[in-house]
Structure 1
């Protein structure tokens, strides 16, 4: 059996918010537009079906975790890299040799907004990578202990 991993995945609510996710078919969305090789590699090499996802709203007035999701489809080429009208277009990508991939995530549960300030104030979360100075990755791994602490905070 494959080991479950846990992830914090950032989305700008102006692109896709957790509330948007709840309105989509099967409450599922492709995690498109990732243009960082380390984050892409997490999706391609490390994510498995059923992995837990903390859906994090970023670059907004109230950043924080807005809901729980799961990886519902494994990595596949990100279609936005081929669309010249997309802000995520990559002229070096081809159908034969795609450069960017994405997984699909599916909503599990909307939670209260667990703000960035609350995350910073929680002693058991000081190792959470989203809190590291200078961290800009849109996808970061979360340890099992961090996941359990976050579940307690989110589902109060």
Structure 2
């Protein structure tokens, strides 16, 4: 795996998106090339999905199993209606893989880092799609020792 420069986040919104790896893992996204982020049934998380723009970046967080940030994805198609919602009320986006973290950053490590105490991941722990502040983004990438290519 080749080390990569951190992506330029200027003018981009930053996110964290949780998925149970036994239901939809980052490896699944890599294999698909592009996936639909759907099935979100929380109003705040859905509002976050609706706020996303093409090119925004998101940490891919494996919840329940692993409890760690493992990779970065990009929003490829924003503003979709969730195809799993027969009433058409919920939001979805399409995402593409960007890179893996050189080392996953665990929830325990995040909790033990005072500079991350206000991170939405900790403050709203059940939220499946949350915002990440630029300083949090930079610190997590530093803790991960950067990014590596998908190959």
The TM-score with structure 1 as length reference comes to: 0.82
- Gaps spanning 5+ residues in structure 1: where? 83-92
- C-alpha root-mean-square deviation of aligned residues, in Å? 1.5
How far did 1:13 drift?
0.6
Rounded Cα–Cα distance in structure 2 between residues aligned with 1:48 and 1:79: 19
**Paired residue secondary structure (1:38):** helix
Rounded Cα–Cα distance in structure 2 between residues aligned with 1:155 and 1:107: 18
Rounded Cα–Cα distance in structure 2 between residues aligned with 1:108 and 1:20: 13
Q: Does 1:64 align with 2:68?
A: yes
- Larger helix share, 1 or 2: 1
- Gaps spanning 5+ residues in structure 2: where? 1-9, 147-151
Count of equivalent residues: 136
Rounded Cα–Cα distance in structure 1 between residues aligned with 2:49 and 2:76: 12
Rounded Cα–Cα distance in structure 2 between residues aligned with 1:129 and 1:41: 14
Instruction: Please point out which of 12, 37, 45 is paired with 1:39.
Output: 45
The aligned counterpart of 2:108 is 117
The aligned counterpart of 1:11 is 19
Bigger Rg, structure 1 or 2: 1
How far did 1:33 drift?
0.4
Runs of 4+ in 1 over 3 A off after TM superposition: none
Instruction: Please point out which of 69, 75, 79 is paired with 2:79.
Output: 75
The aligned counterpart of 2:29 is 21
